[in-house]
Amino acid sequence: MRTLHTFFFLALAISCASPQVATEVLVETSDYKTIGSVERYDSDIYKLIPEGAVIEVLASGFEWSEGPLWLTTQNALIFTDVPTNKIWKWTEEDSLTLFLEPSGYLGTEKNKKEPGANGLALDLEGNLILCQHGERRIAKMNTSIATPTPDFTALASDYEGKKFNSPNDLVLNNSGQIFFTDPPYGLDDWNPKELDFQGVYRLDTDGTLHLLLDSLNRPNGIGISPDQKTLYVAQSDAQKARYYAFELEENGDVKTGKILLDATASVGKNLPGLPDGLTVHSSGTLFASGPGGIWVISAEGKHLGTIQTGQGTSNCTFDEDERYLYMTADAFLMRIKLN
């Protein structure tokens, strides 16, 4: 049940290189419980997150929420709960309902720690595309998102005859090519690793699979710049907690790459989380999971601020008009209002 209340909080600027915004008091009202704060290190963040914006908790009680995806046709958000093998649906009118079960593992083995789907996306025809941890593949749901059932077709499940580790996150470009990461988080002792690397791949519309990168230890979140020329990859490695930017050829091959921002120094320090899922704003700004919550990063790699959720935060996405940023954070589904 929702209760109307006024939320007061103090947004404190933490120690960083040349902070430009002083401590300030923000006041906001919400129909939902609100937690956390917004740390602002550069004035450009006000173009994206208005003064007074609060973090609203829309739903809770999940084991590890992930993969948020906005469904414009339903004015709804869907997201995964990876350990429970479910996808949930949230709307302003109906709150929380079960969208799909099972989502990522169709077998009978009970001793599986991360069976469910992780990253979600829609293809150019509006079909739901899933990173299925449990099945170790990229799959398409065969039924409509209006009437979802656990009926899937595998789009890619192996590289050169060896099973993927556990596809984690994905993004489609304007041509319908699927870019995805394949870290080992979904593997179990009885379900061994077959590849000797963690890959970043591209799946073309004709079904051809291309290995783009095999040099990252823990590739995780992935996104594409608005001009389609840059591929962003987050690495969930506590020793090399970084966001990378890779220049793309017109055909989708990787041309050059660089470290966009290194967050390793912020890992720990009472800031839960690592670089994980990310999304790219129409302005080119990245909203990326990192230590403490969602890091707001300019296209040039400047850390503009952090949406401090107080939780290990896995991923985020926008609604159709970028009015809200929706965040999956441990047991919670959250959002914050944007400009």
Residue 269 — pLDDT band, cuts 50, 70, 90? confident
Q: Is it the case that residue 283 has pLDDT exceeding 70? A: yes
The values of phi and psi at residue 303, to 5°, are -80, 105
Note the pLDDT tens digit of each residue in 188-207: 999 999 999 999 999 999 99
* C-alpha to C-alpha distances, 25 to 2, 8, 38, 188, 271, nearest whole angstrom: 25, 8, 11, 47, 22
pLDDT score, position 28: 54
Note the pLDDT tens digit of each residue in 15-42: 333 343 333 334 456 889 999 999 999 9
Note the pLDDT tens digit of each residue in 109-155: 999 989 999 999 999 999 999 999 999 999 999 999 999 999 999 99
Sheet holding 137-141, edge to edge: 117-122, 128-132, 137-141, 152-156
pTM of the predicted model as reported, rounded to 2 decimal places: 0.91
What distance in Å separates the CA atoms of residue 156 and residue 140, rounded to the nearest whole number? 10
Listed by start position, the domains of the chain span 1-10+21-57
Tokens found for residue 261: 């921002």
